[in-house]
Amino acid sequence: MPNRPLNVAVVGATGAVGVEMIKTLEKRNFPVKNLRLLASSRSAGKQAQFNGQNYTIEELTHDSFKDIDVALFSAGGSISKEFAPSAVKAGAVVVDNSSCFRMDPTVPLVVPEVNPADIKQHNGIIANPTCTTIIMLVAVKPLYDIYPVKRINVCTYQSASGAGAKGMFELIEQTKTVLAGGKAEPKVFKWPYAFNVFSHNTDIGENGYNTEEMKMVNETKKIMHDDGIGVCATCVRVPVLRSHAESITLEFKDNVTVEAALEAWKKAPGLTIVDDRAANHFPMPCESNEQYNVLAGRIRYNLAAPNSLTFFVCGDQLLKGAALNAVQIAELM
C-alpha cells in the first residue's frame, strides 16, 4: 500500500469497470486523500458514493488531473490515448485498463501476482492486461515456476460484462424477450446472445485469430517475459453476466505432476482451488462472481500428450479481470 494518502482520479467512473474501481478502492481501504470521478459530459453531474460520502461526477477534460497522484482509466482506448498523456503531464501515474498502451514497449503490463517488479519500469503509465489474460496467468504462473511452459491451448467461456454494462443489459433484456416468446434483436453484439454462444466480437486478422485471442497470445509473452511460449486461443462468448471461465491445457518443458501443481496453487496469491471430484465441484461463474480471487481446479493429466496438464479457471471479469487488478497495481506503486 502507498505510505501516504493519495489523490485518486477514476476516468470512466460510471462504466461497469469504473463503478467496481470505486467499490474496490473503498473495500481495500486504499489510502484516498481526494477522489475525483471523471466521465463524459453525458454523465457529468451524476452522483456516486465513496466511503459514505457523495461525489459529483465531473466532465473529463485535459485539465482534470491537477494534483492527482494516481489516475485509473477505464473509458476505452480512444479516451486513454487522448487523456492519459495529460494526466502524466500533470504528474499523475496512470493505470490504464484499455488496450491502448498494453503492447507499448515503454509501458509495463502488470498482473501483480505474476510480474509485480515490472511496475518499477514505468514512465507514467502502467497497463492493465486483458481480462482473459489476467485470469489465465494467475493460475499459470505458479505452474510455470515449476517448469517453463512451452504451449498453452485456451478456450474461453466469456461473459457479457467484457462489453460493459450495456453488454450485460443486452443479455438480460434479450433473454427476457426470448422467454416471453419474442425474437432476439441484437444491438451491442452482432449475434443473438440469449441461449447462444458466439465467437468473440472483435475483428479477425489475416491469420484467422480475433483481436481478443491475439491479446492473449502477445500479452502472455510480454507479462511472462518469455517469447517462446506458444498460445493457441479460442475466445467465445457465453450467456453469463460477469465472470469469465477458461479451459486451459499447458505443455511444460518437463513433467509437472498434478500433486506438485496443486501444492504450487495452494501457496499462490490471488487463487482459490476449487477441485472436489467426488462432489463434481469445480470453478463456476456463479461462485467467482464478485470474488477477488481466481478460482482454479479440475486439474488432471492431458491424456493425449506428455508433460501436459489441463484445468479450468473462473474469474470475475469486472474485478480481477479489470478493476481489482488496476487497484492492486496502484497499491504496489
Answer for the pair 217, 290: CB distance below 8 angstroms, yes or no. no
Contact status: 86 vs its own copies (CB under 8 A): no
Look at residues 122, 121, 119, 153 and name the one whose alpha carbon lies nearest to residue 136. 153
| Segment contacting its own copies by CB under 8 A, of 2-10, 63-71, 127-135, 207-215 | 207-215
Look at residues 108, 100, 113 and name the one whose alpha carbon lies nearest to residue 73. 100
Residues 131, 200, 235, 314: which is the catalytic one? 131
Whole-angstrom Cα distance, residue 53 to residue 66?
A: 22
Total binding residues toward its own copies, as defined by CB under 8 A: 59
SS (H, E, C) 263-313: HHHHHCCCEEECCECCCCECCCHHHHCCCCCEEEEEEEECCCCCCEEEEEE
Residue 244 annotated in active site: yes
Minimum separation from the CB atom of position 18 to its own copies (A): 23
Nearer residue to its own copies within complex by CB, 14 or 159:
159
HSE, side-chain direction, 13 A CA sphere, residue 331:
19
Minimum separation from the CB atom of position 285 to its own copies (A): 5
Name the residue with cell 480475433.
Answer: 210
Contact string 269-308 vs its own copies (x = CB under 8 A): --------xx-x-x-xxx-----------xxxxxxxx--x
Look at residues 123, 116, 120, 134 and name the one whose alpha carbon lies nearest to residue 101. 123
Contact status: 245 vs its own copies (CB under 8 A): yes
Whole-angstrom Cα distance, residue 274 to residue 280?
A: 10
Contact status: 1 vs its own copies (CB under 8 A): no
Whole-angstrom Cα distance, residue 12 to residue 60?
A: 9
Nearer residue to its own copies within complex by CB, 99 or 158:
158
Minimum separation from the CB atom of position 279 to its own copies (A): 8
Contact status: 187 vs its own copies (CB under 8 A): no
Residues 308-327 that bind its own copies (CB under 8 A): 308, 310, 312, 314
Contact status: 162 vs its own copies (CB under 8 A): no
Contact status: 249 vs its own copies (CB under 8 A): yes
| Segment contacting its own copies by CB under 8 A, of 19-27, 50-58, 72-80, 229-237 | 229-237
CB count in 10 Å sphere of residue 111: 25
Any residues with CB less than 8 A from the CB of 199 and at least 6 apart, and which? Answer: 210, 235, 236, 237
| Segment contacting its own copies by CB under 8 A, of 42-50, 121-129, 134-142, 146-154 | 146-154
Whole-angstrom Cα distance, residue 6 to residue 163?
A: 30
Residues 122, 200, 235, 244: which is the catalytic one? 244
Axis-axis angle for helices 131-144, 211-224 (nearest 10): 40
Whole-angstrom Cα distance, residue 200 to residue 321?
A: 16
Choose which of 33, 176, 225, 266 interacts with its own copies (CB under 8 A).
176
User: Which residues bind to its own copies, rule: CB under 8 A?
Assistant: 151-153, 155, 157, 171-172, 175-176, 179, 184, 190-192, 195-199, 201, 203-204, 207-210, 217, 230-232, 234, 236, 238-241, 245, 247, 249, 258, 277-278, 280, 282, 284-286, 298-305, 308, 310, 312, 314
Residue numbers annotated as active site: 131, 244
